[in-house]
Structure formats: structure tokens, C-alpha cells
Amino acid sequence: MNKTDWTIRIVAAPPGEAPLWVRQRWVGLDLPVARYSGPREGHGRFLGLGVLTMPRSWLGQWLAVARGRAELVAGYAVEALPAVGILGQSSPEAAAWWRENTPHLIAPKRYLIFHEEVCRIADI
């Protein structure tokens, strides 16, 4: 399996700022992994900011990181736009929540980080 083939299966509701009912809708979904930077293939450590409280500008995000507001997350990064599309196939309501409440994230080259403890490498 090469890097472009890595897929994770969400096995538990991920932590985060989205309402619990929205986070629970990720469970059971297979998502393509987009970013790699760690000791294990497909796994990495990322600086994460809350999806609702993160600053909208790149400068604001950089300042938030510099001020220690970012969390170091061990996990998997998936591109937000296709991930929300996959979510929308099984839960249009949860996908709508993401589109309405985090439009700044639902764009190309924007990523959602799923903590490693809620993911498994999918056998597909």
C-alpha cells in the first residue's frame, strides 16, 4: 500500500468543538489520509486549533500557535472538503452543520485532524 492509498476508519466519536451528535456521525466512516509526518506511515503529530474558536486568518492562526493556544495532536489529517462530502452521504444533517458553522474549513487544502485513538487503518 502506498501513501496515496491510506484510509482510516473512525471507530469512536472524535474529541473537538463540534456538538457530540455531529462528532458521533463520523463513527464508521472511512476517510482518505491526506498528510504524513511521523514515525509510522500515515500517522503524524499536528498542531491543532478548535474548529469553532480558531482564528480565520493565517496570521491569527500563527499568533494563536505562538501564544500556546494550539494542541499537539497525534493522529491523521484528512482533507476537510472530501471528508465532509463522505460524511454527507451517511448524515446530511451533520455535513450541513460543518458547512454552516465552519465554512472557513470546508475548502481545498484545509484539513481536519482525527486523533489516533479514534482511528484504525481501514482494510479496504
Q: Break the chain into its structural domains and give their ranges.
A: 1-8+36-77+113-124
69: left (phi over 0), alpha (psi -120 to 50) or beta: alpha
> Per residue in 40-76, pLDDT tens?
555 577 767 677 767 677 777 677 667 777 777 889 9
Q: Average of pLDDT values for 24-29? A: 98
Signed CA dihedral, 66, 64, 112, 16: sign only: positive
Cell triple for residue 64? 494563536
CA angle 103, 13, 79 (to 5 degrees): 40
Whether 80 and 42 have beta carbons less than 8 Å apart is answered as no
Mean pLDDT of the chain: 84
Q: CB-based burial of residue 116 (10 Å sphere; 0-12 exposed, 13-18 middle, 19+ buried)?
A: middle
Helix 80-90 crosses helix 92-101 at what angle (to 10 degrees)? Answer: 150
Give pLDDT, residue 43.
57
**pLDDT range class, residue 124, cuts 50, 70, 90:** low
List residues bridging with 37 in a β-sheet: 44
Give pLDDT, residue 35.
60
Residues with Cβ within 8 Å of residue 118, at least 6 apart in sequence: 10, 11, 12, 13, 14, 15, 26
Cβ-based neighbour number of residue 85 at 10 Å: 12
**pLDDT range class, residue 4, cuts 50, 70, 90:** low
